[in-house]
Amino acid sequence: MSVQTWTFLIVGLSFAVYIGLAIWSRARSTGEFYVAGGEINPIFNGMATAADWMSAASFISMAGIISFVGYDGSVYLMGWTGGYVLLALLLAPYLRKFGKFTVPDFVGDRYYSRVARIVAVLCALFVSFTYVAGQMRGVGIVFSRFLNVEINTGVVIGMLIVFFYAVLGGMKGITYTQVAQYCVLIFAYMVPAIFISIMITGNPIPQLGFGDTLNDGSGAYLLDVLDQLNRDFGFATFTGGSKSTIDVFFITAALMVGTAGLPHVIVRFYTVPKVSGARVSAFWALLFIAILYTTAPAVAAFARTNLLRTIPERAYADVPQWFARWEDTKLIRFTDKNGDGMITYSGNGAVNELDIDRDIMVLANPEIADLPSWIIALVAAGGLAAALSTAAGLLLVISTAFAHDLLKKSFYPDLSERRELGFARIAAGGAVILAGYFGVNPPDYVAATVAIAFGLAASSFFPAIILGIFSKRVNREGAVAGMITGLLFTTSYIVYFKFLFPETNNAAHWWFGISPEGIGTLGMIVNFVVSIAVSLFTPPPPRDVQEMVARIRLPG
């Protein structure tokens, strides 16, 4: 069977499963819609969290980026996993004990303030929209390459599917669908990784093959060979980096703290029955995530080695088939500058003739390694599972923020549960359409705004929640002042370098050598300092709030 037939079959089958699950587990109350009634088994919640968390960026882009930047890619590996330690230790159990539905709920109640709640809602909406636009784009790319439809048609198909199960199923439907999506995506990631690991190193475990010798009898270690290949073609070595230590440090911290502060991740911990369940669920989530994250750098190294051994110095006339297929999508571009008919690939931009989009490394890897067509189809289904599960989780946060936090809690407290549920569904529907619009007309700044999403989560939510739990003294005035200064500081720094003066976006102009990607860490510190300082000069929180803090610290 051809790759295309296999893709239709596997993708179609996986979609049928998602829709079936959504119908079987649709939500009937706001409690079920927002937090699945708080009765999800922690292992399932761990899988759902993992699927929710691992987006098109983790599945498709991450290994691709690492394959080009090597050690510098560690910021994503550590940043996007280390945040779970913070989540499990500092946030999840207490927010679960607090009960309720959302992060703005906690911020609003703990700081007895509508302003604080609204600031939190607006951040949640902004962060989620930024993120969801990228997901729909990922869906479009996978559809266009593997199902031979227009990118835009792909986006519309993706929208319909997400619309169906997010609007109908709410959190309950999404959770069970995400469990299925986790299984699909991890299988789709691991199978080709294992095949390629065996092919290159003879070791079936990619994490070990990564540090093993090549199986061509030379006895040379993979990473040494790769470093040498990179040097030969004028690139930086894989195991060395080119970012400064301080920048790596700040970016990693911003990603970690941002991860712990992302509303669609936090809300997952409201869905388990008990406080101890929230802790153990974070463990399962990270374990399931770690399987993919420890494989990713290995895949990156294999893909880079394969690429450097097959393509450069080759006559353009006899490139392999996959090369031509990806050229059609314009994600690989070859311009024969010196007219010798050979492909020159080099770290030196003046003589380099080949542009490879980083995003295709994972998707093209099975083709580069010449794996059977069903595996290529599986990777397509995995990429879709990753993008759709994250999109659904985000849409839910958007609809909750709108119907629950904004309408009910901030403006119309008398809203009946039935009507609130109706508004939540309308909001989810509206969000799908908006996300689809951004998927079809992607703003150029999607990549730049993801940096903002993490920066904002790090510099706004994280300090407010941590201080809300670990201090009884931090009050409304402190928290609001802290969130606003943290936000303004981080946003202005990013906007300055990314949008206003992009030509100055380099280490010479950055403060202390911190790039816009890492500035959220500094924003977080600013937020902490301002919150504490302002609180000390203003009256302590009321008694009932202090008692609430005491209560959430005790086991449930």
Contact footprint for another protein (CB under 8 A): 66, 71, 73-74, 77-78, 81-82, 84-85, 88-90, 93, 207, 210-213, 221-224, 239, 245, 248-249, 252-253, 256, 276, 279-280, 282-283, 286-287, 290, 293-294, 297, 550, 553-555
Output the smallest distance, CB 293 to another protein, in A.
6
Identify which of residues 224 and 357 has a Cβ nearer to another protein in the complex: 224
Judged by beta carbon, residue 88 or residue 391, the one nearer another protein is 88
Q: How far is the CB of 65 from another protein (least distance, A)?
A: 13
Q: Which of 512, 494, 490 is nearest to 246 (CA)?
A: 512
CA dist 370 to 162, 306, 365, 376, 465, Å?
33, 11, 8, 9, 49
Whether the Cβ atoms of residue 261 and residue 483 lie closer than 8 Å to each other: no
Residue (29 or 74) nearer to another protein, CB: 74
Minimum distance from CB of 346 to another protein (Å)?
24
Nearest to 432 by CA among 464, 391, 378: 391
Among residues 107, 123, 116, which one has the least CA distance to residue 480? 116
- Closer residue to another protein in complex, CB, 124/248: 248
Rounded to the nearest whole angstrom, what is the least distance from the CB of residue 104 to another protein in the complex? 25
Q: How many Cα neighbours within 13 Å face the side chain of 39?
A: 8
Residue whose CB is less far from another protein, 8 or 71: 71
Distance separating alpha carbons of residues 91 and 279, to the nearest angstrom: 9
DSSP states of 101-116: S-HHHHHHHHTT-HHH
| Rounded distance between C-alpha atoms, residue 84 and residue 54, angstroms | 13
Q: What is the DSSP letter of 215?
A: T
Give least dist CB 289 to another protein, A.
9
We find the least distance from the C-beta atom of residue 85 to another protein, in angstroms, to be 5
Between 226 and 415, CB nearer to another protein: 226
For residue 346, the tally of other CB atoms under 10 A from its CB is 15
Closest CA relative to residue 388, chosen from 19, 139, 23, 62: 139
Residues 6+ away with beta carbon under 8 Å from 231: 237
DSSP state of 315: E
Closest CB to another protein among residues 205, 446: 205
What are the distances in angstroms from CA 145 to CA 328, 334, 379, 447? 9, 19, 12, 21
Task: Considering the complex, state which of residue 449 and residue 521 has its C-beta at the smaller distance from another protein.
Answer: 521
Least distance in Å: CB of 305 to another protein?
A: 12
CB-based contacts of 329, cutoff 8 Å, min separation 6: 141, 144, 145, 360
In angstroms, give the least distance from the CB of 266 to another protein: 16
- 496 CB burial (10 A radius; 0-12, 13-18, 19+): middle
Bridge partner residues of 89 (DSSP): none
Using alpha carbons, select from 308, 266, 317 the residue that is nearest to residue 96. Answer: 266
Instruction: Identify which of residues 205 and 481 has a Cβ nearer to another protein in the complex.
Output: 205
Q: How far is the CB of 506 from another protein (least distance, A)?
A: 21
C-alpha to C-alpha distance for 316 and 223, rounded to whole angstroms: 28
SS3 218: coil
Q: How far is the CB of 344 from another protein (least distance, A)?
A: 29
Between 280 and 495, name the residue whose CB sits nearer to another protein. 280
If the CB atoms of residues 287 and 484 are measured against another protein, the closer one turns out to be 287
DSSP-assigned states of every residue in 330-387: TSEEE--TT-SSEE---SSTTT--EEE-TTHHHHHHHHHTT--HHHHHHHHHHHHHHH
Between residues 298 and 415, which has the closer beta carbon with respect to another protein?
298
Of 397, 411, 404, 538, which Cα lies nearest the Cα of 114? 411
Cβ of residue 467: shortest distance to another protein, in angstroms?
Answer: 15
Q: How far apart are CA 33 and CA 182, in angstroms?
A: 21
Q: Select 212 or 517, whichever has its Cβ closest to another protein.
A: 212
Q: How far is the CB of 455 from another protein (least distance, A)?
A: 19
Q: In terms of CB distance, is 238 or 270 closer to another protein? A: 238
Are the C-beta atoms of residues 174 and 397 closer than 8 Å to each other? no
3-class secondary structure for 437-476?
A: HHHHCCCCCHHHHHHHHHHHHHHCHHHHHHHHHHCCCCCH
Least distance between another protein and beta carbon 280 (Å) = 5
Question: In the bound complex, what is the minimum distance in angstroms from residue 240's beta carbon to another protein?
Answer: 8
